[in-house]
Every structure is written in structure tokens, then in C-alpha cells.
Copies of this chain bind each other. A is one copy, B any other.
Amino acid sequence: MQTLKTIRITRQMMALTREQGKTIGFVPTMGALHEGHLSLIRAARKDCDTVVVSIFVNPTQFSANEDFSKYPRDLEKDRLLLEREGVDYLFCPEAAEVYPMTDMVKLCAPQALSSVMCGKFRLGHFDGVLQVCAKLFNIITPNKVYFGQKDYQQAVIVKRLISDLDFGIEMKICPTVREVDGLAMSSRNVYLKGEDRVKALFLSKVLFKIKDAFKKGERDVEKIKKQGRNEESEENEENEEGGEGVEVQYFDIRSADDLSEMSFIDKKAVCALAVTVGDVRLIDNVILDPNELS
């Protein structure tokens, strides 16, 4: 695996790759790699001749009160994992290489997609995601890019970046990878200490109940949400919104395509949940697809 730090050299290597007629699969990450990332890399490895992974903790997608500075970073460990997966190129630039100035061209996510769910609580977050994705896509010029279903809203918005700005890129959304007890893998899980790790199971428990109710035929959004909430509050009488020490930020069932509201699930939907456990913010989701053979 070749490690690339500069845009200039990366561009040269990608041009060479394309000249050789090789397809490029790209997995953008912020490092602190876990099995979720590795599943994306394996999908890329299967599909494409050349696999490029970026590790870049993108400052423009964090707001001032968020965890940019303490976001987990372990480049040496990440590098070993990538070597083991047969990744061809690691692009891990410094922030100053990616953002040489402050007053740069920005991107704005479509209002309807970015003003709901996480967008309500993370102002400007998706604009920052689009900015770094546009840059990375132009540097890497991939044929295919791989995103995780866990960050579902991000995947939908990046997909819109690709179609709205006519990037000739195919996007693959890969299933969420979970710990054995159900917790969705996330780099931020390392923040969960002691009891908080147990409390964090709130997300997957609620979502699995929702998925069960859906599988049993429930299609009414309010009723299905109530089932997720009710069963949870039986366990935690003192707080019907979350478990004890679990604060729900949002709990939404929306169209999987455009994140619009729905009252009846007659097309593919996403049930997405965001909570804080202590001061750790966690998200998770399940897809509810009436056309899916189960």
C-alpha cells in the first residue's frame, strides 16, 4: 500500500491508474477504522481494480461545540488494517493541504435533506461533508464510492451531490455492521465508558423492535413508532423518551429516497434514531422496505 499525503502526487497516481484502464474504488473515512469501514473496503476490493481509502478528519463538518479535536485518531493502527485488506492507496493529507485558505468555495446541501434529522442538530455539518467529498472525488476520480448505511442521511445527501453536480460516480451503500449485542459500529463508540456502553444498546433495541413490528405487517408510522417507544419505556419507567441517561434527539420514519415525511409506509423508508448517552452522541437506523422479500 502506498501512502499519499499531497493532492498533487495523488492526482498523478490516479491519472496513471486510469491510463492503465483500471477502475478505482474509493472509501472516504475519518480513520479510527472498525469492521464497518472494513466492510466498505472489502466491497470496493471485490468490485474495483484499485482501492483507495482516505483518512481525513474533516474540520469543516464539525461545528465549534463538537468533538473535532478529540475525535479518535490512530493512523498507525489504521494503516495496518488497510494493508491487511489489500488497499492500494491511502490518502491521508494534512488539513492545510486540503484547506489552504479559510474563505474557500463551499457547497450547500439541498434544504429538504439537510434541515431534518441530524441536520437539525448539526448545523452546517452536511455542507462540510459535501465540500470534502467534492474535493476528494475530484482528487481520486473514482468509478465507485462506498458509504455506510449507518450514516444514512449522509449517504442520501452525498448521493445527491453526485447526481446534482453530475459526478460520473456510482455510489454503493453498504449495510451497517454491528457488535454482537447489536450496537452499530462507530468510531465514536470508544467514547462509551462503563454503563454508557450498556445504555447505548437503547438504539438498536428500539430499532429492532420497529423492524419486527414492520415485518409483522404494521405500516402506520405513528403506531410503529409507538411500539418502539412503548416497549422501551416498559424497561425504563422513569423516562419514556429514552432509557435512563439516554436522551433522544430525534426518532423519525422518513422516505428512504428523499427523507420526506410519511404517515404510512407504502415505499422504502428509513427509521432513524439519534441519542446522547452522557455526552456521547450516537445514531443508528433500519430500513423498512415493503418490497423487500423477508
Q: List the interface of chain A (C-beta within 8 A of B).
A: 7, 11, 15, 101, 103-113, 130-131, 134-135, 138-139, 141, 160-161, 164-168
Contacts and interface: CB of A to CB of B under 8 A. Distances in A.
A139 B110 contact: no
A108 B167 CA distance: 18
30 contacts: A7-B166, A11-B166, A11-B168, A15-B168, A103-B110, A103-B112, A104-B110, A104-B160, A104-B164, A105-B107, A105-B108, A105-B109, A105-B110, A105-B160, A105-B161, A106-B107, A106-B108, A107-B107, A107-B108, A108-B108, A131-B165, A134-B165, A135-B164, A135-B165, A135-B166, A138-B166, A138-B167, A139-B166, A139-B168, A141-B168
A109 B104 CA distance: 7
A103 B157 CA distance: 12
A104 B101 CA distance: 26
A168 B9 CA distance: 12
Contacts of A113: 103
A131 B130 CA distance: 13
Contacts of A103: 110-113
A134 B166 CA distance: 8
A135 B110 CA distance: 16
Contacts of A139: 166, 168
A113 to B, nearest CB: 8
A108 B60 CA distance: 14
Nearest to A21: B19
B105 A164 contact: yes
Contacts of A141: 168
Contacts of A130: 105
A110 B134 CA distance: 16
- Which of A15, A103, A110, A111 lies at the interface centre, i.e. has the most chain B CB atoms within 10 A of its CB? A103
Contacts of A164: 101, 104-105, 135
A238 to B, nearest CB: 41
Contact of A165 (B11, B101, B105, B166): B105
- Which of A105, A130, A131 lies at the interface centre, i.e. has the most chain B CB atoms within 10 A of its CB? A105
- Which of A15, A107, A141 lies at the interface centre, i.e. has the most chain B CB atoms within 10 A of its CB? A107
A135 to B, nearest CB: 5
B110 A138 contact: no
A87 to B, nearest CB: 21
A135 B103 CA distance: 22
Nearest to A167: B138
Given A103-B110, A104-B164, A105-B160, 4 more contacts: A103-B113, A105-B165, A138-B165, A138-B168
